[in-house]
Structure 1
């Protein structure tokens, strides 16, 4: 299983800067996500809108969106799937602004996909689907390509309406496992959560 981190988004509510480099407890958000995702996969790449020299410090291959600004997260997934190394059939996806993502994300999603003979799976938390925390089989690449290139789809939910995948429910926990940082207030809350749970993080 390989992994990809969606690192191309910009936080409009945080001054338009790249979220990956926002500092959380003295470390870039992307650094927190890499620490949690890397042990779950055999290899890890960054999905970016276009190559960013500021991300080179992390030592990961950057996979640019073939349609910058137009492909959305689905375009980023397509680019990463097309670069899957030989012998790796599964791609684990996560966003760059989720510092508390579960350490068993990949194993639980893979188990669900295999048990139900489906080409992927996604997380669900408190009844809400979390499509950016998901697992995709390389066999979906042609279908995703058609959705992006021919239908102009950019969002996961649109694609999942066409190709439903099983959802894996996660138990409630503190800190919330799929907490995203989209506002200054969310960043402050993440700082507080890290301080409170520093012995467990």
Structure 2
């Protein structure tokens, strides 16, 4: 299924991790099917949102070819995915004051659903600010979520004052819903739509999914 743009929603691609299991560096820039893995993620998210921002740390010039604004973590010390979510929320407040939500997607997950944001939006459209998280195969995927901009201050306070920075520890403090997604089909293979390429072996597996079928 192909989703529609969710109005008042900013897409935030999370590329601020340390990529330890990939040997360091920017795993999002590693080639997958003839182009950077990040390009696959951007192409999948762009049709679902009204604008996009990339969360990444370090020199933003290395992402110039993607044509997206780059927002670093506002919290020091690689505080995990919630810091990336906060970066997206703060960017939205400044650059898209109309925005109601930020939709996050991981830069190492190139096959996520094309109706991800639409379905999360339907679940999160509640009177009170509600966080919607994706799930598949009985597991939640906290880096794939829809985050109310109205919760930005609360998230920053949590990250600066609490001893834990676990995503679900903060999510549990607010109204939240879970949206389950079915397996996806890519070039004849059936896989979890939130398959992520964390290691060189994962990259090799992903390359098989995006390769052109043999004649």
What residue number does 1:107 align with?
A: 118
Contact in 2 for aligned 1:74/1:153 (Cα 8 Å): no
Mapping for residues 152-163 of structure 1, pairs under 5 Å: 152-163=163-174
User: Aligned with 2:102: secondary structure?
Assistant: strand
Of 66, 78, 88 in structure 1, the residue corresponding to residue 86 of structure 2 is 78
For 1:88, the equivalent position in structure 2 comes to 99
Correspondence 1:194 to 2:210: yes
State which of 154, 171, 188 in structure 2 corresponds to 1:143. Answer: 154
Helix, strand or coil for the counterpart of 2:125? Answer: helix
**Equivalent in the alignment of 1:121:** 132
Task: Say whether the 8 Å CA contact 1:119–1:140 is kept in structure 2.
Answer: no
Q: 1:138 to 1:197 in 2, by over 3 A?
A: farther
Distance 1:76 1:50 in 2: 13
TM-score (norm 2): 0.85
Aligned-CA RMSD value:
1.9
Partner residue of 2:23 out of 7, 15, 29 = 15
Change beyond 3 A, Cα 1:6–1:137:
same
Q: Is the 8 A contact 2:130 2:174 kept in 1?
A: no
Name structure 1 gaps, 5 residues minimum.
none
Q: CA offset at residue 197 of structure 1?
A: 7.1
C-alpha distance after superposition, 1:74-99 (max 9, x if no partner): 11111210121111111100010111
After the TM superposition, which segments of 4 or more aligned residues of structure 1 sit over 4 Å from their partners? 115-118
Between the two proteins, the alignment pairs up a number of residues equal to 198
CA deviation after TM superposition for structure 1 residue 145, in Å? 1.1
Deviations 1:108-154 (A, max 9, x none): 00001115855220111000001111001111112111110111443
- Aligned partners of 2:164 and 2:47: how far apart in 1? 32
Do the aligned partners of 1:4 and 1:94 also contact (CA within 8 Å) in 2? yes
1:182 to 189, 192, 198: 198
Q: Answer yes or no: is the 8 Å Cα contact 2:14–2:81 preserved in 1.
A: yes
TM-superposition CA deviations, 1:32-74 (whole Å, max 9, x none) = 0000000101100011123431111111000011234242211
Q: Structure 2: 5+ residue runs without aligned partners? A: 1-8, 185-189
